[in-house]
Structure 1
Amino acid sequence: MLQSIAYENLSNPPATSAGRETLRQQLIHTREYVLERLRRNLASFGDKFPAETCVNGRYPLTENVEWTTSFWTGQLWLAWEMSGDEVFREAARRQVRSFGLRIAGRHDTNTHDLGFLYTLSCVADWRLNGSREARGFALLASEALLERYHAKAQIIQAWGDLDDPEQAGRMIIDCTMNLPLLYWASEQTGDPRFANAARAHVNQSARYLVRPDASTWHTYYMDRTTGEPRYGNTQQGYADDSCWSRGQAWAIYGFLLSFIYTGDKTMVTLSKKVANYFLNRLPEDGVCHWDLALKDTDALRDSSSAAIAVCGLLELVNHLPVTDPARARYQSWAEHIMASLSRNYLVQPDDSGTGLLKHSVYHLASNKGVDECCSWGDYFYVEALMRMTESWKRYW
């Protein structure tokens, strides 16, 4: 199933006709177009949240439930930073209060995705505006996330009943993106419990979720009573022994985020390896199939994975010395993928839908969000726009 391309040998990105500054100017123009679409969506959504994925190009609206609502709030914060338009800031602040009610009532919070939910909403508000209220909400979420940590297995359980032995040892690659909430909580409080759990989890992720060839498992199970490893499989990929594209993209970005907080340089090395595996399996236009094992087939693409990877690659460039021969290639790959997304996957002006980035795949096996826009794809595309057009301080 897995293609044998050595991760050490990073291929060169395809040559592009547009130079770096030309692309930047094009993306600045694209930013204005995206901001107008976000304004239109805000007027349409009101204080509701878009669901996880579009249905026939339009997001159903929902209350603040599920794991994805903060991707809309994060887009609003980015839109405010890009435009200075207070309509985005006020909308995001109203949503922060909704996240406060959610964590206070423990509504749909039995998930490791509290990291996504509260980093892109409340931690962002704290970083941008110094909101003490938002800080308090995020710290409550950090406590709830810490409850999912199994000390013997040294992992944070992804979802499911903490006392169910068949679910209790489940970790997934996505969680590398949830750990910044815990690191931040230790910084804020001086309490090392949060960061210690995050460090333990990311080390277990590096040990068991990353295979020897630098591909990744989506899911790995640990024995919560003995701490011993059990087995890996996939919930969303093509096969247990394939490599789910979005998981690989989470790994590129997520291991780096732990490096930023811990200074552990092995996380940078690991990010490079998983990035090389990802890049070596891209089709010509740079936008991955929904599973990396499906290269050279007519399988559906997943634009959301590509957008996540762009952000991860740009972050990786920030942490490599200028003497690293791969640094310029990671930058060029990020630019190539972003140019392709903007040219061929972004919704068109005459499109009446409410998404931004077309052709993502959420969960093919259940026919959920297949070949549609999705909330995380939209968020990471907007984050990539911000990263490629001006200096930006991470919410993560």
Structure 2
Amino acid sequence: MGSKLLCLVLASIVLAYYVYSPIPEDSEEHWKVMLITATFKTFRNLAGVAEYLGLMHYMDVVTLIGTMQYVAPMSDENVIVTDTEFNNVTVRLYLPRKASDGLRRAVVYFHGGGWCIGHVGMKPYDLLARWTSNTLNAVVVSVNYRLAPKYRFPIQFEDVYSVTKFFLQSSVLSQYGVDPDRVCVAGDSAGGNLAAAVAQQLSEDPEVKTKLKVQALLYPALQVLDLNLPSYQENENDPILSRSLTVRFWSEYFTSDLSLREAMISNRHVPVESSHLFQFVNWSNLLPEEMKKDHIYISPTYGSSKLAQKYPGFLDLRAAPLLAGDAQLRKLPRTYILTCEHDVLRDDGVMYARRLQAAGIPVTHDHAKDAFHGAMAFISFPTELAVGRRLLNRYIEWLNENL
């Protein structure tokens, strides 16, 4: 009897460890959020053990979450869905069935997943694209760009840029009945990073005659210079996107060299000769007072020049759009930025919104004080959350009004 009781107690402790996560008090549906975060925690722990034992790469295990959520391209009564290729890059294309009085709107969408995981066929992304296409009567191009660690930066950017540039050709827009004056690029998390970078490069590309009307960035990652922002500190142990996992995603984007990841963890990866770039990520000037709280800005600690020479990608605008100068920002379209209070990437989006506003760009900064990173992915059974549906509706409403 005593041994059975001991086993029960130990099993309860283990279960409590996985199920319990500190959930913000303002979150709705506490127990459902707790179970969701427990699932993420389990996969991350399994990934760490599998990699330590040499069984699988960390990202291969985490990718199983996406594999479990895959849905094939299936048309329904509202939208025709097909997998095809644009410029040799796989895309999932959503074409509304309902008639249109004129040319349609279009959204080119880039999924999240830290440039390492994710797929256009994941159920949340498929639902998001269907909902966007049907609600807005719009063509949606969801891009299945290649992923790290098999493919490193700038492959991911090159894939999404290639698709967008191809789609913006007048002949292609005409083929799908799209109004060239009503095209948007959008993305979440790493996809938001790619969308911001694509919008910047399109504004500088003399070969592109069609200009974007809007860009929509959902809790985007926008810089890798300062990985110790207040939002990184406050959400360091977030079960869905912790600071350590964010650093892992960033470093895997560029290389498997552990020295870069270790330097990023200690926030000592930027060389002194790049010190001028810190003005673009100086949160003491760019964050509102309520987000600074009791945090004190600390001047950067510089790292080895050798890392930047070997892996210059983390200083590249295509990876860190927040580093763009004001002259380049002035060329960007009307912008929607969603940030979540309980998110390591919160301050990236807030700082970009402030910089765009200062550059004269019309910006809608939608800050969700009760939300966490990736909340919009939870919009279907059995992981549907009220906060996910609410953020989705706000995003779609903005597109409907501005695109």
Q: Same fold (TM over 0.5)?
A: no
Q: What is the TM-score when the length of structure 2 is the normalising length?
A: 0.30
Higher relative contact order (CA 8 A, sep 6+): 1
Name the structure with the higher helix share.
Answer: 1
* TM-score under structure 1 length normalisation: 0.30
